[in-house]
Structure 1
Amino acid sequence: MSTLQDQLNAQLQSKSLPVSPAWLTTFLSTGTHQRTPLPALTKTALFRLLNTDFRESLIPRAPTSVLPVDIFDPTAQERRLPGPIPLQVLDIEDIGTSIWNQVEAIERIERGEAVRGREIVRTVNVGDEQDGNNEADNAGGNANAGAPTNANESNGPHRLILQDARGTRAVGIEMNQINGVAVMQLSIGSKLLLKNATVARGMILLTPESVTLLGGKIEVMDLAWKAGRKARLLEKITGTGAGGV
């Protein structure tokens, strides 16, 4: 008869997540799981797993479940990744919106403002100004043309830095809009499954057909990324930022 750990491992394996036995042992030792139905226990385990670092919680058991170590090879014109490959997001960049517009969107949020059409409207908490004296200034011209309406939106396409359970990193380029892939919507440490994706000249071509978003995040990494985003954008403008992945 299979143990609870074996059953839970099989459930997670069926979701293309080759979980580490050590992680499973730790998870099962943190509570009274013996009386929890397997479906509910699987949901809890999946939630916690998606908020871990895959390098610590997964163990690749097949070559197709990780990225090729030479994925950056620019001489490889095209190749296919059958997968499924569980990956985590280390960085996301909106390459369809100018850097200045992205910085300005962040600064508007810092000032408590939002964009409505061509107007910059100061946002206030309900009850802060009962008399409705909200400040609105005409932005004029096309200064905000093509810019996201706030710092939580991005037009795309997006450039992602992805990492597998072995620690191999790769660049992914959004070829067609993928629902849920946007700056400040896709958390750092978010997990996804990559299946039947094309790699061209060292870059993964991301499409809705090849990407399944799983959710999750790595809290510490996500907070640090958000706190440093404006500084990184300004470094790119001044040419002092470090490149690469």
Structure 2
Amino acid sequence: MASPEQIAAQILNTKSLAVSQNWLNTFLTTSNSAQRNLPASALTKTALFRVLASDFRESLSRSPSSILSLQVLDIEDIGTSLWSQVEAIERVERGEAIRGREVVRTIPMGDDNEGADNGNGRTNNPATPNASGSSGYGPHRLILQDAAGTKTVAIEMKSIEGISLEKLSIGAKMVLQNATVARGMVLLNPGCVTLLGGKIDALDRPWKEDRKKRLLERISTLQGT
């Protein structure tokens, strides 16, 4: 069985995540016998999967580093009006989508049917906002948190593949290197961001369920009612 030190070194070398030895010891102790007997490479992959689904405040060490390991606490599309985002969510709730200037009904399709001809010369793959109620245009504003619990605001200065309301879950992990900080905000561009994926279910689910309510509350505040 791989030692905690071996697993930690492998995750640090491949993902730039400094995993806590205490967290790894607990992971190995609570793993079932089948997992503990996995080859070192497979056990390391399992540990990494658990890290990406964890709270960094529990799973990472707090040693200073030039590479920042962060998790997403909030994401906002600041390139789209609040009302437009609410309307997009409501269209999804009604099972509608926008195609050009036409509102059409959408039918949920499995992955196997994406792009398939529906018999009339059209494909079943329209550009449709999903349950997040966004087309992913951006730019985006994010609230990020490090292993010590420190929060920071980050702004997407150039479009980054993987940063959108559809693709980025709450609790998703990323590492930043040589990022620019201006007026207390981290300026994000593709050259300084590495997205690792993951999410924290206990944070992601309520964030999605309450998003429409939060948008409406902000609209009400701005209108002064």
Q: CA deviation at 1:13?
A: 2.2
Residue 28 to residue 222, structure 1, CA distance change in 2 (3 Å): same
Per the alignment, in what secondary structure is the counterpart of residue 199 of structure 1?
A: strand
Higher gyration radius (CA) = 1
Look up the match of 2:198.
Answer: 216
Q: Any conservation in 1 of the 2:134–2:166 contact (CA below 8 Å)? A: yes
TM-score, with normalisation over the residues of structure 2?
0.84
In the alignment, structure 1 residue 181 sits paired with structure 2 residue 163: yes
Look up the match of 2:115.
Answer: none
In the alignment, structure 1 residue 108 sits paired with structure 2 residue 91: yes
Task: Output the amino acid matched with 1:116.
Answer: R
Deviant stretches of 4+, over 3 Å: none
Per the alignment, in what secondary structure is the counterpart of residue 239 of structure 1?
A: helix
Task: Output the amino acid matched with 2:97.
Answer: A
Q: Aligned pair count?
A: 201
Q: Deviations over 1:182-225 (max 9, x none)?
A: 01310000000010000001110000000000000000100010
TM-score, with normalisation over the residues of structure 1?
0.77
Task: Output the amino acid matched with 1:87.
Answer: L
Q: CA deviation at 1:125?
A: 5.3
Task: Give the whole-Å Cα distance in 2 for the aligned partners of 1:155 and 1:105.
Answer: 13
Higher helix share: 2
In the alignment, structure 1 residue 22 sits paired with structure 2 residue 22: yes
Task: Give the whole-Å Cα distance in 1 for the aligned partners of 2:156 and 2:4.
Answer: 37
Task: Give the whole-Å Cα distance in 2 for the aligned partners of 1:124 and 1:209.
Answer: 38
Task: Output the amino acid matched with 2:86.
Answer: V
- From 148, 169, 174, give the equivalent of 1:192: 174
Per the alignment, in what secondary structure is the counterpart of residue 54 of structure 2?
A: coil
Q: CA RMSD in A?
A: 2.1
Give the gaps of 5 or more residues in structure 1: 65-82, 127-131, 133-147
Look up the match of 1:85.
Answer: 68
Q: Any conservation in 1 of the 2:71–2:144 contact (CA below 8 Å)? A: yes
Q: Any conservation in 2 of the 1:97–1:154 contact (CA below 8 Å)? A: no
Look up the match of 2:57.
Answer: 55
What percent identity do the matched residue pairs reach? 58
- From 118, 137, 151, give the equivalent of 1:155: 137
Look up the match of 1:71.
Answer: none
